[in-house]
Structure 1
Amino acid sequence: MALLLFVSIICLHSLLVVKGHSSSSPLAPALYVFGDSFSDSGNNNFFQTRARENYKPYGIDFPDGATGRFTNGKTFVDFIAAPTICASIFGSFNRREIQYYNRTELRIWISWHSESGTTTVGDNLSLDERIDYFKDTKRIYLRRVYKNPVQITKYLSESIFVIFIGSNDYINNYLQPDNYNSSQIYTPEQFADLLLYRLTLRMYKGRNNTLYQLGARKLVVFNIFRVGCIPAVVDTASPRPTTPCVEDVNNLVLLYNTKLPKVITNLERILLGSTFIHGDAYNMSRNSSEVGFTAAQTPFCEVDGNAGSCVRDSVNVPCEDRTQFIFWDSFDPTKVVNNAMAKDCFSGSSSCVPINIQQLAKKR
């Protein structure tokens, strides 16, 4: 059975999120994304999985409609990648043959996502598999375009790599004791340490096809957002919390988040020529009283109580203002939240440190 490479190709005339701003040349040659539903542009459409949102009302504010994005419009990465979407195209891949669209234009967004993580909802891509696909992208595709390894090295060193993972290890694994025994095997701190150790392995040691060894030099690594605030967690908590969020769950995530900055600092020290940004998804996803939304833990769409996804072809009340909602379904943020988070990380100074993505792209 052929392996699949899901490639989203988007015109990158500029890596900009500032409204109305344009640039004649891109800030970076490509954006490589290893993420979850925050950045999924429809890869799960090609998997045998229940985590597949390629139907209305998903995408009602996206130019191409329901593409498989887990929100009503653009994702977090869509807003970072380009001001306008040119295409969302998927190619198939096996070890003998590779097909790409728009071959001569390397200003692209190539993304590997798997929304479900290690769960019972169906097939998914592990991080190891995603890195394997990136390895084949370099080995096959880039060698067709560039004449020598030096050019490939330069191209990759100027590209930006975004890693947005970890939440599903909690949502769909550690917090599911009926399906998984991870919470019995590991204490909360041990589990956080395990995730950080595995992240380190994929960066530079343990295998020959780590991201650093494959050429990644500019990396944006996000911590985990406030899992205890998502409707799927709040609505199933017993007893239901008197606060907007289940703080015991947020405290689990904080065990990982508080240690991540030191891990990133050590990686940058060890990996010569690398630059790391720490993305603070936890504080970007603060509750409604802090960011001004009127609807906090309430999904905008009508959701399936079991799956937490929008009910297919459900109709929303016309007078409801989507811009006042943090969550689109029981798990994922709305377009307006994605936009605010992306804008701050791209050109702000609080969500992504010690420099923002715009500064990272310009660094030589």
Structure 2
Amino acid sequence: MFQLLSTVIVLALIPSQWSWGNPMIDGVNAQTNNAPRDVPAIYLFGDSTADSGNNNEMLTIARANFPPYGRDFDTRHASGRFSNGKMTSDWITDFLRLPLAPPYMSPEAQMFPFQGANFASAGAGILNNTGNVLGQKISGWQQIELFLQRRNELIAKMGVDAASTHLRDSILYIATGGNDYIHNWITNDTDAALLPHDQFNNLLLTTFENQLQVLYNAGARKVAVLGIGPVGCAPHFLWLSNTTTGECMETVNQYVSQFNDGLREMLVRFNQQHQGAHFVYRDIWNTVYSMAKFPQNYGFTNGDTACCGLDHYGGGSRCLSPSMVCENPPANVWWDEYHPSHRANNFIARQIWSGVDPSTTTHNSTSTTVYSFLTVQQLAALELTDV
């Protein structure tokens, strides 16, 4: 295995962290209608918005395996999720009526190889060097390498045909790209960040398309690709901009919006060029932006300040201690300086799962073309015959 992973100490999770369960917490209703039961597994890729514990034993500041993270999770345990409770990917897994996929670096992922796996790693991005300033992580390409390793394991246990059918019918969930802006281009952390934005954007999309090609070649057919959310509305960027009115940093949002436009166009082309491919774009921009600007419409009272943080808008520090937690976490859209709260993640997941308008475009979109993609609910219900 590649050098980075050789330094990782396998983390130990209690079984209830990835087992069945969907309690009511803070008034969140996770019930869905006609959720399919025949999706064999979910495989997750991406960054801290999907990492369920892969970074726990790495030499990095991008970890969340300590209180108060996880205070509202099923087990009330800090599993490594960057949330006070569930991440968006956890809610989607619930909607699919699947057990939560264990982190690939955990013993459970090896003990139960047929129930999927989580390869996501906090700090990771599309580019290999993204997030290096934070410490160790499993990069986007390395996550794909681990998926290929799991594919080989399945073939060894199930045979080629059964493994191919398993992967064809499984859902792949990819949430990446945000760190390529937050911890790369905006902060000038790598040589790639010296590129003009259009060239950097093209580099991201070309690299990401190559990664998707590898997944397709490995047998993936049902893939949900999340666009990047309005990064400029996160408490960290409100703090960074010294705004006194809670206005989002729209220059940052514009960069991300242009990436989302290109991502949609790339996925349309990808599906047209690859038989049986259903690599769908799922927009999270509008939901997050709307919650941040109009929190009362969702039952929140605060749309700009992190529940757990320091300084203006709670955006000047990571969440490091239970003493930093706000009085009423369910009232906040944001949990920490970058990540939505447990309740907010539920709203985001519902849009991804069964959004009313699956062809939605992003706020401030530079594209005038509307592309229609399946929701994850529709994606899960597809009956495919090609392997």
Query: Shift of residue 18 of structure 1?
Result: 6.9
Taking structure 1 as the reference length, the TM-score comes to 0.84
What is the SS of the residue equivalent to 2:305? coil
Over 3 Å counting, the alpha-carbon distance change for 1:11 and 1:30 in structure 2 is farther
Check conservation: 1:308, 1:331, Cα contact below 8 A.
no
* 1:222 aligned to which of 220, 226, 234: 226
Provide the identity percentage.
29
Check conservation: 2:239, 2:315, Cα contact below 8 A.
no
Check conservation: 1:53, 1:69, Cα contact below 8 A.
yes
Distance between the aligned counterparts of 1:71 and 1:24, measured in 2? 25
Over 3 Å counting, the alpha-carbon distance change for 1:99 and 1:278 in structure 2 is closer
Query: Shift of residue 307 of structure 1?
Result: 6.9
Query: Shift of residue 195 of structure 1?
Result: 0.5
Distance between the aligned counterparts of 2:220 and 2:329, measured in 1? 37
Q: Which of structures 1 and 2 has the larger relative contact order (alpha carbons within 8 angstroms, sep 6+)? A: 1
Q: Partner of 2:212 in structure 1?
A: 203
* 1:113 aligned to which of 120, 124, 129: 120
Check conservation: 2:355, 2:375, Cα contact below 8 A.
yes
Structure 1 letter corresponding to 2:219: G
Q: Partner of 1:101 in structure 2?
A: 111
Structure 2 letter corresponding to 1:362: A
Taking structure 2 as the reference length, the TM-score comes to 0.80
Higher helix share goes to which structure? 2
Over 3 Å counting, the alpha-carbon distance change for 1:35 and 1:6 in structure 2 is farther
Matches within 5 A, 1:265-304: 265-287=268-290, 288-292=292-296, 293-303=300-310
* 2:256 aligned to which of 248, 253, 258: 253
Give the RMSD, CA atoms, in angstroms: 3.1
Q: Partner of 1:207 in structure 2?
A: none
Deviation larger for 307-316 or 190-199:
307-316
* 2:142 aligned to which of 103, 106, 129: 129
Query: Shift of residue 34 of structure 1?
Result: 0.6
Deviation larger for 117-126 or 163-172:
117-126
Query: Shift of residue 21 of structure 1?
Result: 5.5
Check conservation: 1:6, 1:111, Cα contact below 8 A.
no
Distance between the aligned counterparts of 1:92 and 1:43, measured in 2? 6
Q: Partner of 2:369 in structure 1?
A: none
Query: Shift of residue 80 of structure 1?
Result: 0.9
Distance between the aligned counterparts of 1:46 and 1:308, measured in 2? 21
1:59 aligns with 2:70: yes
Over 3 Å counting, the alpha-carbon distance change for 1:153 and 1:56 in structure 2 is same
1:335 aligns with 2:354: no
Check conservation: 1:12, 1:81, Cα contact below 8 A.
no
**1:211-250 deviations in whole A, cap 9, x for unaligned?**
011110011111111011111111012x537552001111
Distance between the aligned counterparts of 2:232 and 2:50, measured in 1? 20
What is the SS of the residue equivalent to 1:235? helix
Structure 2 letter corresponding to 1:100: Q
Structure 1 letter corresponding to 2:209: T
Over 3 Å counting, the alpha-carbon distance change for 1:13 and 1:321 in structure 2 is closer
Over 3 Å counting, the alpha-carbon distance change for 1:294 and 1:20 in structure 2 is closer
Distance between the aligned counterparts of 1:357 and 1:306, measured in 2? 32
Over 3 Å counting, the alpha-carbon distance change for 1:85 and 1:71 in structure 2 is farther
Distance between the aligned counterparts of 1:18 and 1:348, measured in 2? 16
Distance between the aligned counterparts of 2:187 and 2:172, measured in 1? 30
Check conservation: 1:113, 1:125, Cα contact below 8 A.
yes
Over 3 Å counting, the alpha-carbon distance change for 1:281 and 1:43 in structure 2 is same
Query: Shift of residue 19 of structure 1?
Result: 3.5
Matches within 5 A, 1:1-364: 3=6, 10-11=18-19, 19-20=30-31, 26-64=37-75, 65-82=77-94, 89=102, 92=105, 100-103=110-113, 106=114, 108-117=115-124, 118-119=130-131, 120-140=133-153, 142-146=154-158, 148-177=159-188, 179-183=189-193, 185-204=194-213, 210-237=214-241, 240=243, 242=245, 244-287=247-290, 288-292=292-296, 293-303=300-310, 308-314=317-323, 316-317=325-326, 320-350=327-357, 354-364=373-383
Distance between the aligned counterparts of 1:49 and 1:77, measured in 2? 22
Check conservation: 2:238, 2:246, Cα contact below 8 A.
no
Distance between the aligned counterparts of 1:219 and 1:85, measured in 2? 16
Structure 2 letter corresponding to 1:213: N
Distance between the aligned counterparts of 2:307 and 2:245, measured in 1? 21
Query: Shift of residue 91 of structure 1?
Result: 6.0
Distance between the aligned counterparts of 1:11 and 1:23, measured in 2? 21
Structure 1 letter corresponding to 2:192: S
Distance between the aligned counterparts of 1:331 and 1:92, measured in 2? 24
Gaps of 5+ in 2: 23-27, 125-129, 360-371
Check conservation: 2:104, 2:119, Cα contact below 8 A.
no
Deviation larger for 299-308 or 260-269:
299-308
Gaps of 5+ in 1: 205-209
Structure 2 letter corresponding to 1:67: S
